[in-house]
Structure 1
Amino acid sequence: MKKVIIAIFALGFSLSGYAQTHLTLEQSKSLALQNNSKVKNSELEVGAAQEIKKEAYTNYFPKVSATAMGMQAIDPLLEMKMQGGNLPVYDGNPANLGNATQFAYMPDVNIGLFNQMALGYINVLQPVYAGGKIKTGNKMTDLNIEVKQKLQKLSENEVLLKTEQQYWQVIAIQEKQKTLDNYIKFLDTLYNQTNTAYKNGVIIKNDVLKVTIKQSELKVNKTQLENGKKLSLMQLCQTIGMEYDPEIILDDNLNDLSVPQTYFVSNSAVLPNRVEYQLLEKAVTGAKLETQLKKGDYLPTFGVGLSGYYLDQFESNQKGAFNGMVYASLSVPISDWWGGKHKLNELKYKEKIAQNTLNDNKGLLNLQMEKAWTDLTEADKKVHLIEETLAQTIENLKVNQDSYNNGLIQLSDLLEARALKAETEDKLIEAKSQYKTAITNYLLVTGR
């Protein structure tokens, strides 16, 4: 029976371990790109832009239209009245034609046309020249696709940065939990020592209570960290499109920190790689295309076409008629130029505005890259400074521990020294997490 119970517990631990999901940073980023709704929507925007391009390309082809119509009028649309009378009877002799003596009477005749009819009509028009609007329109759809693709990249970068920030936030909380556990173990050991000393009459009960109070504080801190980790992990799962599971384990740590110089690049060299800079360039191109497209409204248009129709009045003694024609059309706007000149001038001003915006934002993008580099180097210095401080707090705790063991200082001094070490450890974890995020941010703003 004991063997069975042991096997059941072993199986339970095995299944529990198997149910755990391990995630690395790269896996989290990959899941975010696959599942995040913002990234998905940006992909759909690209697909929609590609369909617009296909639609615009059809403007090169002939335009075909067909019409069919049937009607039944209350009264004929066209009525003709022929007056009757006596008509001379021709006896076959031309000499008697002018002096006919016999006549035939013909009554008045009313003729109604288009009382009922059916009409079928088809027209084919091939544009030959449309002021360059078709070509320019297709260029604009190409530009639209490129812009949507750039915006998709921006969405991906935003989601990746958000994923990394949330990922390192969870890692930081996990590291703080380890630090807190070590602190709790220290207090547990100290409590056993002080409680034994109190029972032996070496110290007063107040010292035991000091340790107990500190233990209660750490229990509260532990609960807060557990809740913080849960919320942070839920937030990360939401971002990467993964169902929340409290058993998820993040495998990375904060110990592998490369020096900032590993990531340094020249701002001028990477500026053209910035998606934001490329979008500004596309805005200048788009403004020029807008001017070209509008100019096409004021240029002649020329096309050739073919038309054909079939008309049937449904008369018993008449057959339907078919006819067709080939034609050419030329349209020249004249009066539109009166206001068109000012409209084109307006668009020229907008071209200059787009160019000025590009020039201005070049400086802002350089400033952003410079700030990201400054933030990275500051975060690195902060890590090193806190590491030095931590080494000092460790030495301070050791000195206080020895002094307390030798009865040279009070318990409160030892507790203060240990609390200072825990506080510095937490600050170092935060600094390392910020440094990791600063690396990601610098890579993003330098187009990598």
Structure 2
Amino acid sequence: MADHATSLLEAQALELDARDPLAAFRDEFLVPRNDDGSEQTYLCGNSLGLQPRATRAALLDELDDWHRLAVEAHFRGRHPWMPYHGFVRDDLAALVGALPHEVVAMNSLTVNLHLMMVSFYRPDATRNAILIERNAFPSDHHAVESQIRFHGHDPASALIEIDPDEPGGTLSDAAILGAIEQHGSRIALVMLSGVQYLTGQAFDLAAIVRAAHAKGCLVGFDLAHAAGNLALQLHDTGCDFAVWCSYKYLNSGPGAVAGCFVHERHARAALPRFAGWWGHDQATRFRMAPEFDATPGADGWQLSNPPILALAPLRVSLSIFRRAGMGALRAKSEALTAYFDALIREHAGDVLEITTPREPSRRGCQLSLRVKGPREAGRSLFDHLHARGIVVDWREPDVIRAAPTPLYNRRIDCLRFVLAVREWAATRKR
């Protein structure tokens, strides 16, 4: 790319970034630095979100309260530990479009998925199948297969997988809805992702729920790549449950506490569940009775008391989302990803294939990319990007995932990625 053209693109990117009404939120995050002291071009929030500056102080506050107050911090701390999970409830509900009593922060994603399937996967002799994507995240495969076996069924017949039917490995709405129509009478649970981890494709959750419920199937979603990425409306969508992690777009740190949604129609339902004392009705929890009386709503699926040091980073991150507004973040995300998409197609289209759908309604901020040419070329480009301080991630066998997240990424980050791709391509031609 000629120097004049590059300078023009840089000027345009910087001008657009200067006009970004959410630009100041980047300053609330700690951006890693390269060996020369310059900031990394971090496009990996789909794998691990950056640390908010306020996280350290929030954790130190809890450690200080532990030091000063010990057990009394449950009641007298700056954020008392006894009701601590309630401090994230309203912001978490707003983030995913739920009522406050429909959400809870607890455990990890796959633990929550298992707890939900105890209640919502109830197979019988004729309706015992679970519907998933063939390319679902491996942990989802492991969880659903183990649940099928636990209930005495064979995944060879009770696990229905939807094959990609579009170029690049994405799924058409027709393929998903067609599978529900074809197999609905024997599906006990439809278990799909909100955003497909490998392709970055966003699914039409409301359409899936309508089709599945019409066939008598229950519906759950893995929202690991959707929470904090899409403007979700879980209550109105009507799914029976959903689970997600908080270390990606929710910036709550490695192994962060996860989230769970249970629709309010199940708030007081007599469902089978694996119970623990923190799920007991809080009004009588400390009477220490052996009989379990579930707290209405998602809280009733809790097992143990809240992990304070894991919830503190989530509390910080959710406060940032509240101030930014998920609607404004999604609007920026659509514009930023469209800019990234157009840059790649115009200036690196001879090198990269974008496998993520082009329509904004069918994707979040992640673009999944394949290098045109031999498979080993993809890994070569990935290594080149990292050597230039451009952090993306790699998924076998040949996918580079790059995610310009709206809280802290800019157009100049997208441009730096594309310029590095052009640089790599030029070296390959020598």
TM-score tier (shorter): under 0.3
* Bigger CA radius of gyration: 1
TM-score of the pair, normalised by structure 1: 0.19
TM-score of the pair, normalised by structure 2: 0.19
Task: Say which structure is richer in helix.
Answer: 1
